[in-house]
Homo-oligomer: A and B are copies of this chain.
Amino acid sequence: MCELLGMSANVPTDICFSFTGLMQRGGNTGPHRDGWGIAFYEGRGCRTFHDPNPSAQSEIALLVQRYAIKSPLVISHIRRANRGRVCLENTHPFSRELWGRNWVFAHNGQLRGVKQLPLGHYRPIGTTDSEHAFCWLLDRIRHRFPKRPRQAGGLWSWVWALAIELNRLGICNFLLSDSTYLYAHCSTQLSWLTRQAPFGEARLMDAELTVDFRAETTPDDIVTVIATRPLTDNESWTVMSPGSLAIFGAGVRLAEFC
């Protein structure tokens, strides 16, 4: 199992607090020693940082925490390798271009026989099941929608249909984004939480850290955090139901398919 972390917000927001909790699971409070990565969207651009080293001891992870990059949409992943050796090209999140947009994907679970799924346009660079699944997903989206659809609804339900197909091969919790929307698919385990006014205190489970969001936010801020397991022990997280797909935009849950 790996750990996923995503964020969708209506203003550029730093994810340091949640990221600090997640990184502890990379070798300290969790067994995910096989690398980590994070993607920060900034407009149509996307910054990604990857490191095959355990996140709890990663210099790059420390940089990311210190530098406090603000972004409205973030996808992060820490890895416990099951398929594919530990190396940079096997480190999530993966990214590809479709319709002139950066698409980013991070996955946890194992997908038996996923490499039998035929690929067309996109090819894996590494050897993980996850990247193969991502390439297949984008190929199928591209095939169904050669151009970016005006209305997102049809695309959302198509992504859900594809997620269900992947579920048949095993466990397929994933976070996916096209730079506007954050798609969160729960195969077995995924939870989310929306923070908005009135803001309060949040206390990390995995580190001695509490933050008072009243001091960090404005009353208009809306920030949703999605994680494999809740990161705080004093807030009420929504546990997603297996097989469901939630779509978030600008901090708000826009739709859920289940």
- Tell yes or no: A59 within 8 A of B by CB: yes
Residue of B nearest to A119 (CB): B100
**11 A–B contacts, CB within 8 A, in A order:** A44-B88, A44-B89, A45-B91, A45-B126, A46-B88, A60-B67, A89-B102, A96-B97, A100-B123, A100-B124, A101-B125
Q: What CA separation (Å) do A122 and B122 show in the bound complex?
A: 11
Q: Are A87 and B43 in contact (CB under 8 A)?
A: yes
Main secondary structure of the interface of A (DSSP, over half): mixed
Contact indicator per residue, chain A 121-132, by CB within 8 Å of chain B (1) or not (0): 111111000000
Q: Are B44 and A126 in contact (CB under 8 A)?
A: yes
Q: Are B47 and A88 in contact (CB under 8 A)?
A: yes
Which residues does chain B contribute within 8 Å of A257, judged by CB atoms?
none
Q: Are A59 and B67 in contact (CB under 8 A)?
A: yes
Q: Which 5 A-B pairs have the closest CB atoms?
A: A45-B88, A45-B89, A100-B123, A44-B89, A42-B88
- Tell yes or no: A152 within 8 A of B by CB: no
